[in-house]
Amino acid sequence: MMKKTGYVLATILMLVLAAFLLYEGWPVLLRFFDLIGRYMWVGIGIAVFFVLRYFAKKNRDWLETLSHELTHAVIAILFLREITSFQANKKNGVVWSRGARWSEPFVALSPYCLPLFTYIMLIIWSLVASRQLVGSHNHLWGIDLLVGITLGFHFVCFKAQTGNHETDITKFPTFFSYTYIWFFRLVNLLVILLCYMPAHKTGEPLKVWGAFWYLIEHFWKILF
C-alpha cells in the first residue's frame, strides 16, 4: 500500500479534480432538468425497485452481499489481479486476490461507489441505441426501466455498506477512503446523466463511451 504521503497527495488531487468537475459538470446538471423527460423511465425504475425490494426480502441481504463481492472481483480482474477466493453469504462475503499493491484501493473501495449492474445495463442500452436511428432512444424504455431498478439497488447498497464498520474503508486512511468514494460517486453520476444527453454534432445520445470521453476531455483540460 502507499505511504501516508501518497494518500495525502492522492486526496488533494481528487479534491481539486472534484472542484473542477463540479464547476464543469454544473451545465450537465442544468441540462438534466431541461431533458428530464429522457430520464422518466429511469425514475420509474427506481420507484419499481423499492416495490420489488419488499417482495424480495428473503434474498435481499444475499443479493446485496453478492453485488459487493462481485464488484471487488470485477475490478480485481480489470487490474489484472489473480482471484484466489470468492465467497458471498447472506450476512458476509470475501474476495481474495493477488496483484500490484497500488491497485488495492481501487479494488477495496469499488463496491462503495461503482454501480456495477447499472453500468452493465447502460452498456446494453448504448449498444442497442447505436443500432437505432436518431431519436429512437425513446423506444428503449424497457432498458431504461432496468437502469433505474439497478440504480435503486445500488443506492440502497451504498447507504447500508458505507461506514467505518467496513474494513475495506478503514484499512486506508479515513480521509482518503471517503474522498475516493465521493469523488467516484460524482464521476459515475455524471457519466450516467451524460449517457442520455444528445451530442452537439449529431443529436444522438452520448452513450457510455461518449460520456466517458466527455469527462476525459475535461479532465485533460484541467490537468494540462
The tens-digit pLDDT sequence of the chain (224 residues) is 567 889 999 999 999 989 988 887 788 888 888 889 899 999 999 999 999 998 888 889 999 999 999 999 999 999 999 999 999 998 889 999 999 999 999 999 999 999 999 999 999 999 888 875 444 555 689 999 999 999 999 999 999 999 999 999 999 999 999 999 999 999 999 999 999 998 877 778 889 999 999 888 877 776 66
* Per-residue confidence (pLDDT) for residue 138, from 0 to 100: 58
* Per-residue confidence (pLDDT) for residue 133, from 0 to 100: 47
* Per-residue confidence (pLDDT) for residue 91, from 0 to 100: 81
State the Cα angle at 177 between 174 and 178, rounded to 5°.
90
* Per-residue confidence (pLDDT) for residue 92, from 0 to 100: 87
Cell for 103?
491497485
First to last CA, the chain: 28
Phi first, then psi: give them for residue 45, nearest 5 degrees.
-60, -40
* Per-residue confidence (pLDDT) for residue 219, from 0 to 100: 75
* Per-residue confidence (pLDDT) for residue 90, from 0 to 100: 84
By the 8 A CB rule, do 166 and 64 touch? no
3 state DSSP class of 92: coil
* Per-residue confidence (pLDDT) for residue 134, from 0 to 100: 45
By the 8 A CB rule, do 170 and 101 touch? no
